[in-house]
Structures are given as C-alpha cells and as structure tokens.
A and B are shown apart, each in its own frame.
Chain A
Amino acid sequence: MNATSPSRLLSAALALWISATAVLAGPEPFAASEHARHLDPDINWDAVSLITVQDGGRYKTLDSFAREMMTSMYGRESLPGLSPLASLCDWLFRRQAYVDTPVVRIKDKGLRIHFSAHMPEAARTRIVSSSYMTPRELADPTVRARMKELETRTLMSRAVNRAREAQFVAEALERLVNIVPAPGAEPIDPWFTPDRAQANLSDAMLAAGGTTREELISRFGDPVPGLSPETAAAVVGPWAQVRLGWLSGDAAKVQAGLDALAGVLPKIAPEVYPSESQRMAEARYYAMGKFTWGWVFYFLGMLVAIWALVTNWRVPWGLGMILLVAAMAIHAAGIALRWYILGRIPVANMFEAVVGSAWIGCMIAFVGELLYRRRFFLVGAHATGFLALILGQFVIPGGGTLTTIMGILDDVMLRIHTVLIIASYALIFLAAVIAIVYLYGYYLHRAATRSAVTGLVLALAGFFTLAATTLSAEPRLAQTMIGVGLAGMVVLVASRWLSGAARDTALAVGGIAVIGGLVAGTAPAGFATGTGGTLVVTGLVWALLTGAGIIQQRLARPSTEPALAVAGGAPAALRASRPVMAGGAPGDESQASSLPVWLQHCDWCHLIILNLVFIMLFVGIILGAVWADYSWGRPWGWDPKEVFALNTWIIYAILIHLRFITKNRGLWTAWLSVAGCLMMAFNWCFVNFFIVGLHSYA
C-alpha cells in the first residue's frame, strides 16, 4: 500500500463532505407573503435599490436599509421567499397581513420566557423554542408592561433594547424611510419621509385629496423645509402609486412609481446626494454577501494545505497557494469595497476588525510561505482566513452591518493603533495554529498512543460536562457536581503517589471529574454546554488525527521521507539553515537527534510569527496609549482591554525568556503560544462583550 493513500482518501472524503453541505435549505415562505411573492419577480429593483435613505447617522441605499430593517425585526435580511426590497415594501404597505405571523425575532431566551409566561401553552412553547413572536403577541399589553418593567433591570436592558428595536421596525417602519432631502440642505441636516412631504403639497392638491395641511402636520410633522409643492407632488404621487400598486397587486404600477421616485429623489438636493458609484458599490457589497463566503476557499485551501504538509508534495502546496490567493482576493474585495463605501479604513467594529485583521495575517503568512515554503504558514493562513470569514458570516453580532464610526475613534493615531493591534491578534492566532501543529507532531513523535488517549479523555470530559450540565439544571445536583469536581481534584493530587497505569487512570478520571463537575456546577448553562461540545469535538479530532498519524508513520517507508517521519539532523547544520527572521532567541537544534526536522522547521516558522507579534503588539499598545493621552488626558487607565492586551504581551515576553532556560524550547513555546492566543481571544471576545470598560465599543 502506498504511504500516501490515507492522505488521498482523507482529502477525497473531506471534499465530498463539503460538496454535500454546501447548500442549506431556507425556511418556508409565510402564507402572508403570498401576495408579495407574486409581485416580487415582476419588479425590476435595480434602480430602486439605489435610492438613498438617511438612517442611523448614515446615508445608505434602500437595499441596505431593507436588509438592515429586516435583520432588526426578523433576524434575516429578507422575509422567506422574498427579496429584501419586496420584504420592505410588503412590511410598509401590508403589515396587517402579518399580524398573526411569527415574524418578530426576540433573540434572548430570557425575554421570550418573560413575554410568553401568561400565554397559552402552545403559544408559549412556540415562542420559547422558535424565538419568533407575532406582531399581535408583541402588542399585547402584558408583554409591553413586562418590557417596561424589565428594561429597568440592568442585566436585561441590552436584550430589551434589541426587542424594542425589533418592535419599532415591526410597528413603525414607515417613520424610518427618510428618503426625501430638503433642497439646499447641509449633509448633516435631516431627511424626511414621503408621508411628511404631503404637508408641502399645494392647497388645491390637498383639497383634492380630501385633507388639510393641519391634519397632515398633526399626523406626520411639519412640512419639509424648502420643498416646493411641485417637487413634493413628484415625490408623494409616485409613493402613493407604489402603495396602491402594491396593495392591488399591480406590478406595472409599482414599477412606474418606484422608477419615478428613483428619478426624482437624487435631483432634490444633488449636492448632498451620495454619488451613484458609491451607492452601486454598497448595493454590490450587500448583494455579494459582504464577501464572507470566501471562507469556502479558505476551508478548501486549509484541507489542501494539510495535505501538502503531511505529504510534503509540491502539487498540493501549489494548489493551496492558488486557493490562498483566490480566497485573499475575495477577502480583499470585501474589505476594499467596504472601505470605499464608508470612506474610512474598516476597522471600527468587531466585524471589520476580525475580517480586516485576518487579511493582514493571511498576507504576512503568504509572504512567509513564499519565502520559506514550509507549509506551516499556508496552513495557518487558511485557518485564520477561514475562521475570520465564518465568524463574520454566522457569529458576529450585527452581521457586518455598515455603520458610522464614533467621533472619538476617528483619528489617525487610533487607526494605526487599531490596525497594529488587530494585525498582531491575527498573527497570534496564526502562531497558535502553527503551535498546535507543533504540539501534534511533538506528541505524535514522543508519545503517540498517550497523545491519542489524551484526546479521548478530553472528549470524555466533554461528554461528561454535557451530561452534568443537563443534570445541573436542578440546584441540588449542581452542588453535587461541584462536589464531584472537588473530588476529582483530590484524585489528581492523590495520583502523585501512584505510578504506572494506576496513575494514568487516576489522572484521567480526576481530570474528567474536575472539568465536568466544576464547569457544569458553576458556569452558566450556555457556557458549560459550549465548553462540553468544544471538548468533545477537539478531543475526538485530536485522537483521530493522532491515530491517523500513527498509521501513517507505520506505513511510511523511510526512503520516501514524508514529513512526519523521524529524520534527525546535525545541530550545527540545522543552526546554519535557520532563517534570520526567526530571531536571536536560542533554537531547539540541540534536540535535533530526537526530533524530526520538520518540527525544527515548524518551530522556526513559529518564531518568525512570534517575533512579529511581540513587536507589533507592543507598538500597537503604546500607540493606543499615545492616542489615549491626547484624547482622554491619560495614557493608561487600567481598563480591562488595556490590561489584557498587556497580559497577552507579557505571555509572549515570558515565552521568549523561557527559550533561554528550558530544554524543550519548541514545546514550551507552543504551549505558551496557545496560552497567548487564549488570552487574546478572551480579550477580544469576553472583555468586549461582558466586561464594561472604556473599550466596550471595540
């Protein structure tokens, strides 16, 4: 059997799996949308989508507006089976049809339980499990009273604010459609809704419509400043036409009205109306799903890169590089388009920071791979890009909505600080990927079976955590779980006096009890479930990969010199071939006789990244302090974000110094690199979202 057969089979299997899961089924269209579903295909939305709306302190296209409003209310960019603009129109003109359709998303389970507590069993179960309420349910006086009561509770206020946003869109969307500028207005002056422009119509027109100016003013507010009756008629008329056409199902009428609006609105105040190219860019950006689908290329590239690493073949390496270039091009297109639309470097929120930093990390890794061709950079780059884009598409709150930047963040020094910090974070993740490869290889070489068993023990700990979390729903059992965790600690301590299999067993059992018991007994259920699941997946993957590595080692023929085979070298020769960029810290060459060469190469690549991280992170932190000094009058305030950025840097300082005093330098470096990555992740995610501080906006 050829040594590379398992690798080929593995690659083929993974490719098949990706193809099978590429397409995900969407939800069924609502019955209330039937009317709009007939209209939607008959309308050409191209010109309409470029109408500008002033919303959220920004000028955006009607298409963006529609997507954002539907996301606020429904959690997706459009209602099922409809385009975003058709969803918007249907909600603007036929909202009553949806009054009993579960379309308003209440994201937080706690709120859903509070809101539905008084409802019949069926409604309660549906709301809690599906997270959707009907507009009628949301308008229930009891629900409103609960919302009012809950928003005074600090821990609930953020969730209630989200629910209120959804409620506002559901009940008063028409008040946000500010598409009418005032002639001669400044760029910051407010725009108005077409309804409000009705008060600008001439007396004759108002009389013909059977209404009075006073009545309109009392309903919609004062007239639009400076808007002539003729221009008002040119706006109000088509708007009414769209409304009537939509209600009557007359697509031609709707189209005519929309086209008329798209023609007249940019001419009212051309000096403040965004350029067509900018509006088109925005429409394209959203239409392309913010380019986050580039993760598919990164994912494929990651598999190919692992293949290249395992086999040391040139073909998969070349394929991996091509995929990396393709993925980075898609990735870069998204960043560049966003930059153009916003008119500023896109590093102002979580989405922009994650996506932007990952691209910088990928670019540095690409250059590293071109220079050194050791495959580690390639694997790291694909993993970094994949994680960033998949987070951007599925996880990060807000889903990458285009937003304004706070005035205080609009500063050159701060941009440099941010770019440096987030780039170093991307490199930290890249380094951690290389560190994990190193750890995998190190333990595969030194104690393969033990490594595989450790993976299985971790997976078992995960299973136990999941089971214990379910049991801990009852407070009495939660205390029992804490007891189990403490007992596990005793077992771990006692294992010190054991030896051989008994010691290993005690360590495994103790570890499982400590992890599962303490996590399930003390942490919130969501966190405990997440931890359990992560442990199961990572433990199993680790055990499986180690198992595959063991098989590969046994099948490998020494003459083929695959990467994972033992191939020690002379320390002096190794030292001579060490890249200059790996820095001045001592290398692991003294271990040359006992470790495979590829692990030495891995350690070098790791050091190349870590050296960059060390300097970039430090300079980034310091530039942040410089900015804080001239912005807040103090360079350092011991804000949690600052402290944990410094802590991350301290970990790398310890890492560098430990290379001078430890024997297994590569191993220590790898573990500390993983620890640094965890610290960085804690800082970026946990501190941002759960610890209130000066950087809560970041």
Chain B
Amino acid sequence: MDQPEPLPSRPAQPGRGLLDRLGRVGFGMSVLTIILVYASFGSALPQVRGALEMTEMQVFRHWLFTGLILLFTLSLVIATWRRIRWNVINLGVLTVHAGLLLMIGGALLYFATKIEGDLLLLSPRFQVVRDNGQAIPGGEFAARAGESWSRNMPALGGSVRLEVIEIENGDMRGVTGATVAVTHAGVTDTIRVPGDGSAVPIHDQLRLQVQNFAPTSNFYDNETAGLYYRAVDEPDLLVSAVPGLPYYRERYLDLGPELKDRSGRPVPSKRSNPTLQLGSGGPTIPTGWFEPWRLPIPVTLGKAPFTATVTGYLPYVAGYSEQPVDGGPAENPAAMLALSFGGDTRSSWLLAREPARSVFQAGVPIEFRWVAEAAERDDLFRPLIATHELTVEVLDADFSQAFAVHSGQSLEIEAGGYTLEIDQLIPAWPLVSPGFEGATSSVAMVNVTRGGTTFSRTVIERFPHLTQDIDADGVRLRTGLLDDNIRLTYRSTPRGRLLLVAGPDLAPQLGTFDPSGSLEVTDLPVGTRRAVQFSGVELDVSLPALYSHAVTSRTPVVEDLERRRPNVGRQFSAVRVELQGLGEHAGWSETHWLPFSTYPHVDARPITVRPPGSPKAYELLYSRLRRDLGAEVAPDSLQVTFFPGRRSVESWFSSFFVRHNGQVRAGTVQTNDTFAVGRWTLFQSGAAQDHWSFTILGVGNRRGILTMVLGCVLITLGCTYAFYVKPVLLRRRQATGRRRRETAANLPEAIKA
C-alpha cells in the first residue's frame, strides 16, 4: 500500500485557541462561579449596595453582570456547538442549552427595559360639610351602596345618620349621582346627591356632597427621581428627570451649613462623588464608570428662568430646622447669641423683627433690638429707677415723671387730675395680637380714674403701641385709647435681663440690667466673648454672628442612625437644589432643600422661589419621575376581606375604569390577580388603612416573559430527558453492542473471514 501523501499543514488559526478556551466546560463553570459570587454579594450585602448606591435591580442590570452573562452565553454556545454531538442521545442537554439561551435572551430583554412604579387612585367619597362649606373632621365616607355614616352632634340637635341607598356610576366619570337616606331626630328622609360636587342640604347647618377624582394617565417611577416645577399661576406641573441621584446614603457637596442629626450629632457627607481615595491623602481613583450615581446633577427646567443643580441628597430626614443666613433682599436683623455659665453653654438665634423670636430665655431673658439711631439705643440703655418703673406723661399738662411702682400702689397725678391704681404687674404676659403670637412681655395693669371715669389700661413694656384700654363695662378697645391725654410707659426688670442693641451703623452693645434696675453697657463685637457681671455672677456672653439682612434657610435634621428603618426608599429623603438665574436674572442664585413627595399631585410639599424682579413665583417639588401609562384610569372602589375578628386584612380588591384606545372598560386587580393595560401590568401594591379611601396600583412592564417561559419549559424537559431517558438509551445501545459482539464472536470462522 502506498504511503499516503502528507497533508499540507493547516495555516494557524489565531481565533481557534480562543474558541477552544471559551468552549471549555471549566471556563463556563468558572464564569458561572463568578456570577454566583457576584449575585451573592450583590444580594446578601445591602451595605455594599448602599455604598455603591445601587438598588437590587441596578446590581443585576449592571454592565458587569450583563457582561458576565454574555460571556457565559458565549461559552455555552461554543461548547454546545463544538463539544456536544448533535444526536438523539444528547437531545436532553441540547434542549437544556437551547432553553438556557432563550431564558437568558428573555431575561436580558426583560431587565434592560424594566420599568416599575405605581399610581394612586383616590376613591369617590361623600363629604359632610357645614353650610359655610367647611369640612367636618371625619366627615368623609366611601361613595358605595350600603355605606353609612353617623355622628352624634348635640350642638346640631342630636344624632345624624346617613346611609347610601344607591350609587349611579359605571364609567370614567365616577359617581354621577347617589340616593342617600338621612336620619335626624328620628325622622328619615331620602335625598338625591348629584355627582358634580354641588352640596345638598341634609340639615339646617349640614350639607352633603360627592367628591370625584379625575382619571389619571400617569404613574410614578420607583427608581428615577423627578424635579417638578411650574409658575404659581399655571396649572400644569412640568417634570425633569434627576438621573443618577443617590438612593441610600447621605451625600452632599460641602456648600452649606453642617448638617446634624436629631440628637445634635454632625452628619458628614459620605463620598460626594463617585471616586475612591486610597488612604487619607492618597491618590483618588474615579469610579463613575462602575457606580451609577453622580453629584452634582444638572437638571434642565424647560421654560423656567433659572437652572437647577442637585448638590445634595439625604435619605433620612426627620424634620427641618430654620436658621438665618445673611444676604437677604430686605433688612431682617438676626443675631446668634451664646451664653455660658458654670460650664453650660446655651445659644440661640434672635430675630429682631419677629416678636416671638427676639427674646431668648437662657435662665435670664435676653432680648435683641435693632435701632436706626444712637438716640434710640440710648433710650433703651437707660437705667431703671427701681425694679418696676412706670413713666407717666400727661400731655395737656406737659407732665412727665417716672415712678417706682408695685402692685396695689396708688398714684395721684395732680397735673391733669388723674388717679392711677397699679392693679397687677405681670412679668410674662402672652400676646395674641396678629403678628405677635407666641411673644410675651411684661405688663402693668393700671386702673386710671379721671373725673369720675375709670378705665383699665394694659401697659405693654416691649411693644408700647399694643397698649390697650378696657372701659368700665369690661369692653376692650381694639383700636386707639380711651384717653390719649395720659401716656403710660412701663419698664421692669424683676429677674434682671440682658439687652443686645445694634443697628445699621451702630456696633452691637450689650446692656446688663440688674434686678434693681441698674445698668452696665458693654461693647460686644461679632466673634468676641465678654464676661459680664449679672446679680453677682460672671456670665460669658458672645455674639458668633450678626446679620442685618438675614433670610431663613431651612436645614434638614437628619434621622438618628439607630432610628432609621431599612427599605423605605426615598420616602423620607430630601435633595438640595441650587438655582441659578438665567437671562435677566443672571447672577441670582438660591439653595433649597426640597422634601420628597410620594405623589406630586397629592402630598405635594413644594417650595416657592421668585427671582428678583420676576413677576412670577415658581414652585419646585421633588418626587418620583412621572411616566405615561398610555391609558386613563379612574377609581371606582377599594374593598377588603378580613380574617375572623376584622382586625387584619386577608386580601385587597381594587376596582376602576380604564379608557384605552378610546374604549372604556371596568378593571379589577386584587391580591394574586393583575390587570393588563397596553404594555403595562397593574397589580395591587398598597391600600389605605381605613380600607376604603385610596388604593395603590403597582405598574410594570414585562417584555421578554414568553421567551423566558419557553426557555424554562425547554430546560425542564431537557433535564428530564438527560437524567431519565438518556441512560435508558445508553443502556439499550450498550446491550445492542454487546449482542452484536456476542453474535460476531459466535459466528464460524469462515463467515468471519
């Protein structure tokens, strides 16, 4: 036999080695192991997710995870193509691998396009209102046949009971009318309540009206935040997405005052941009290619005459503290005063223009006054002649004299023929005049008698213009005085007091009034500390800040770490937004913390800004991004079923109307049952605790589901085949081979030859 010619050597195929490696089972299993480790860390360590600002969905939608899946898919395809023989024996594994490919394809599509959110449907309701339109607390009940409401109102003549006999509805308009039985004073009447919101009398002083809610065609994204804005006189809220907003940790650029938690501890920002610093002072590595969050985040606000930049995010805000900062448009004096005594330091902001906030009680009352001229200051810095001093001026007699007074004392003022009786001297009288609510002042109650006429005068120390007279019949004169000829001025210092006085051109000075009425005045420049003697005790007083044009800045108070509840999303969050004027407002800027609203149209907590010179004010609101549902949904009702005892709910049932492609149809979702509207699936997501007033429908899309289902079916069938059919086939093949060998062995040699 001729020696065959040697085959020409194949040219080297550079990709072949790579294909071999990718197609190895070991490689595929290694990738699978990395996927397993990634999934374990991403899922079981919320701290890691929090540090990287990734939700569970983002962890598993991340390009790294997607890359690993694609690499595994590639390995799977190559291994299947090159390593597995395509025959009946291997039908099982081929089916499983085909199923895996389908499942992976469906899942990639599903998660790449996945959007989830929810919408709120407020149930139509009856409202019991007073005849002036004022709502009665607790006077709402569901607009549903069979519902009842009753209230015992003795002031209105006894019990009132309402029972809904019939509801007319059935389309997107909600309740179009209702028949209600009204029982009052034992008499029952039936009335018809229209659905247009007009109120129908049910009693002399009560009315009943139906409240319907407009259909909604939007839902709100669970993941992406939105910044809403509108001019105050415009109805529509416009929205811009805030992409890359952090989710879990407090992160803010160092632009404003230090934030503190509820217990007063500082809350420094975590990393305020996606970088990683190696050691303190070490090199910084940008990590934005891996982490999805950003700061600052510029947000375009369409027609607004300003731009917005998100410069901070807080996930847990317990409340807001209001604090003055300098730079306001109008004069608004504010002073931060601190007082130390025996190691205890207390400090407070004092606002000279706000009566309730111009005094600080730190064991001793401290008041802040802002005066225009030195003469005013000198008038304030006059020693008292005694603890209580009453200055009496009689205008027609050109009389003026200060008296040391006490309760029960009687003064005869010969000039003018007045008799004054000091009725009461009250150190802290609460003021109720508009604009002075919450403020207190020392007050002298003086009975004034002249020519047989007596009236009582309430002389108010801090705000003399509020001084009022009460006539002999006990009627308080709201404006003016009964006798303008006599002018009383009261000053007192029963416990001593400190008075800080400053002005536009006047350096701050502190007056220390002793209980005896003596005075010592000290210069108190900003940022300095002064020791003052007060009733024989040395006090340390300092003035850390003094602003002439203060504006109030709302600063969030962060929730204490140990009180934070996990998995609350953005519910308690806030963002800091820096606004920069555009065009004619260039150069103007303001910074605000905006609290989160779950639904911008329901629980909105907007802030209002007005660029200087702008005719319009604008509302800004931080919430979730609004998305189009592609259909209108109008509420019908929420119903619940209970466990025995009616204390805990077993399941919820929401009914509503949907207008989609011009057609109106009734829809329901309930526990374990969804409803499809176009490409969106609605499901029961939340409900009101009163079991009727609102329902929350979850909204999500589900592309790629069928592909995944098909893949899963194939995997199951393939596994079953590989585990239980393939061994039988192999056994048969082995038996056949064995029989053939035995047959061949038993054949006569001649036949074999």
Interface pair B722/A583, CB less than 8 Å apart = yes
* Cβ contacts A to B, 8 pairs, < 8 Å: A188-B643, A408-B672, A611-B723, A629-B702, A640-B43, A644-B44, A657-B29, A661-B29
* Per-residue contact bits, chain A 578-601, to B (CB 8 Å; 1 contact, 0 not): 101111100000000000000000
Q: A614-B719, A633-B698, A647-B39 in contact; A188/B645 too (CB < 8 A)?
A: yes
> Which residues of chain A come closer than 8 Å to B60, judged between CB atoms?
638
Contact with B along A45-68 (1 / 0, CB 8 A): 000000000110111000000000
- Docked Cα-Cα span, A644 to B726, in Å, equals 30
Measured between beta carbons, the chain B residues less than 8 angstroms from A583 are 722-724, 726-727
* Cβ-neighbour of A633 out of B26, B32, B44, B674 (below 8 A): B674
B719 touches A651 (CB 8 A): no
A618 contacts B716, C-beta separation under 8 Å: yes
Could you tell me if A407 and B649 are in contact, using CB atoms closer than 8 angstroms?
A: yes
Q: Is B479 an interface residue (CB 8 A)?
A: no
Contact with A along B350-385 (1 / 0, CB 8 A): 000000000000000000000000000000000000
Cβ 8 A contact of A692, one of B28, B59, B566, B645: B566
* CB contact between B727 and one of A411, A580, A661 (< 8 Å): that residue: A580
| Residues of A within 8 A of B (CB-CB), count | 66
Q: How far is the CA of A271 from the CA of B723 in the complex (A)?
A: 53
Interface string of A23-44 (1 = CB under 8 A from B): 0000000000000000000000
**Residue pair B44, A57 in contact (C-beta under 8 Å):** no
Interface residues of A (CB under 8 A from B): 54-55, 57-59, 152-155, 178, 187-191, 404, 406-408, 410-411, 414, 575-576, 578, 580-584, 611, 614-615, 618-619, 622, 626-627, 629-640, 643-644, 646-647, 650-651, 653-654, 657-658, 660-661, 686-687, 691-692
User: Chain B: which residue is nearest A654 at the CB level?
Assistant: B29
For residue A635, which residues in chain B have a CB less than 8 angstroms away from its CB? Answer: 110, 702, 705, 708
Query: B563 contacts A152, CB within 8 Å?
Result: yes
- CB-defined contacts of B728 to chain A, threshold 8 Å: 580
Report Cα–Cα, A252/B705, bound state, in Å: 69
Other A-B pairs, 9, CB within 8 Å; known A153-B562, A622-B712, A636-B107 = A154-B564, A188-B641, A408-B672, A580-B724, A627-B672, A637-B57, A643-B42, A660-B25, A691-B44
Determine the distance from Cα of A580 to Cα of B29 in the docked complex, in whole angstroms. Answer: 26
Smallest CB gap from B699: residue in A? A633
Q: Is there contact, CB below 8 Å, between A633 and B681?
A: yes
Partner of A657, one of B28, B650, B734: B28
**By the criterion CB–CB under 8 Å, are A615 and B702 in contact?**
no
How far, in whole Å, are A153 and B682 apart by their CA atoms in the complex? 35
Chain B residues within 8 Å of A629, by CB: 674, 702, 705
Chain B interface, number of residues (Cβ within 8 angstroms) = 70
Q: Which of B697-712 contact A (CB under 8 A)?
A: 698-700, 702, 705, 708-709, 712
Known: A615-B719, A643-B40. A638 touches B712 (CB 8 A): no
Contacts of B42 in A (CB 8 A): 638, 643
Contacts of B107 in A (CB 8 A): 636
Note all chain A residues with C-beta closer than 8 A to B731: 580
Query: Would you call the interface of chain B mostly helix, strand, loop, or mixed?
Result: helix
Name the distance in Å between B282's Cβ and chain A's nearest Cβ.
21
With the chains together, A614 CA to B25 CA distance in Å? 19
Of A407, A626, A650, A686, the residue contacting B35 (CB under 8 A) is A650
Which residues on A sit within 8 Å (CB–CB) of B708? 635
Instruction: With CB as the reference atom, state the residue of chain A lying closest to B729.
Output: A584
Residues of A within 8 A of B644 (CB): 54, 57-59, 187-191
Instruction: Map CB proximity to A onto B93-128 as digits: 1 under 8 Å, 0 otherwise.
Output: 000000000000001001000101000000000000
Kindly count the residue-residue contacts between A and B in the assembled complex, taking CB atoms under 8 Å apart: 177
| Residues in A whose Cβ lies below 8 Å from that of B702 | 629, 633-635
For A580, list chain B residues within 8 Å (CB).
724, 727-728, 731
5 smallest beta-carbon distances between A and B, as pairs? A57-B643, A407-B651, A584-B726, A633-B683, A643-B43
Query: B651-687 toward A: CB 8 Å interface, digit per residue (1/0)?
Result: 1100000000000000000011110000001110000
* Distance in Å: Cβ of A403 to nearest Cβ of chain B: 10
Residue in B closest to A696 when the chains form the complex, CB atoms: B567
| Complex interface bits, B48-89 against A, C-beta within 8 A gives 1, otherwise 0 | 000000001101100000000000000000000000000000
CB distance from A296 to the nearest CB of B (A): 36
Give the CA-CA distance A187 to B33 in the complex, in Å.
53
Contact B698 A632 (CB under 8 A): yes
Whether B59 pairs with A638 at a CB distance below 8 angstroms is yes
Q: Least Cβ distance of B661 to chain A in Å?
A: 21
Q: Are A639 and B563 in contact (CB under 8 A)?
A: no
Asked if B308 is at the interface (CB within 8 A of a chain A CB), the reply is no
B contact residues around A582 at 8 Å (CB): 727
Q: Which residue of A lies closest to B712 (CB)?
A: A622
Cβ contact within 8 Å between A619 and B734? no
Query: CB of B16 within 8 A of chain A?
Result: no
In the complex, are the beta carbons of B645 and A190 less than 8 A apart? yes
Given A178-B645, A618-B715, check contact A637 B56 (CB 8 Å).
yes
Asked whether any CB of chain A lies closer than 8 Å to the CB of B303, the reply is: no
- Minimum C-beta distance from A482 to chain B (A): 18
Most chain B beta-carbon contacts within 10 A, residue among A178, A627, A691: A691
Q: Is B345 an interface residue (CB 8 A)?
A: no
Tell me the smallest distance from the CB of A645 to a CB of chain B, in Å.
11
Contact, CB under 8 Å: B672 / A631: yes
> Is there an interface contact between B645 and A576, defined as CB atoms closer than 8 Å?
no
Q: Which residue of B lies closest to A647 (CB)?
A: B36
B562: min CB distance to chain A, Å: 5
Q: Are B682 and A58 in contact (CB under 8 A)?
A: no
A188 and B700 contacting across the interface, CB-CB below 8 Å: no
- B92 in the interface, Cβ–Cβ < 8 Å? yes
List A contacts of B29 (CB < 8 A).
654, 657-658, 661
B641 touches A407 (CB 8 A): yes
B720 on the A face (CB < 8 A): yes
Contact with A along B506-544 (1 / 0, CB 8 A): 000000000000000000000000000000000000000
Taking a contact as CB atoms closer than 8 A, the residue among A57, A59, A618, A650 that contacts B647 in the complex is A57
Are A630 and B59 interface neighbours, CB within 8 A?
A: no
Among B682, B723, B727, point to the contact of A615 (Cβ < 8 A).
Answer: B723
B646 touches A189 (CB 8 A): yes
* A411-B672 in contact (CB<8A): yes
Docked Cα-Cα span, A441 to B52, in Å, equals 46
Taking the complex as formed, is B743 at the interface, i.e. its CB lies under 8 A from any CB of chain A? no
Asked if residues B671 and A631 are in contact (CB atoms below 8 Å), the reply is yes
> In the bound complex, how far is the Cα of B670 from the Cα of A410, in angstroms?
12
The distance from the CB of B181 to the nearest CB of chain A, in whole angstroms, is: 21
B39 in contact with A576 (CB, 8 Å): no
C-alpha spacing A658/B25, complex, angstroms: 8
Tell me whether A631 and B683 are in contact (CB under 8 A).
Answer: yes
Contact B562 A155 (CB under 8 A): yes
B46 at the interface (CB under 8 A from A): yes
A653 proximity list for chain B (CB < 8 A): 32
A407: chain B residues at CB < 8 Å are: 641, 649-652, 671-672
B746 at the interface (CB under 8 A from A): no
Residue of A nearest to B61 (CB): A638
Query: Could you say which residues of chain A place their CB within 8 Å of the CB of B709?
Result: 626
Interface string of B224-245 (1 = CB under 8 A from A): 0000000000000000000000
Residue of A nearest to B56 (CB): A638
A420 CB to nearest chain B CB (Å): 11
Looking at the assembled complex, report how far the CB atom of A629 sits from the nearest CB atom of chain B, in whole angstroms: 7
C-alpha spacing A656/B417, complex, angstroms: 114
Which residues on the B side are within 8 Å of A153 (C-beta)?
Answer: 562-563
For A582, A629, A638, the residue with the greatest tally of chain B CB atoms inside 10 Å of its CB is A638
Partner of B36, one of A406, A615, A622, A651: A651
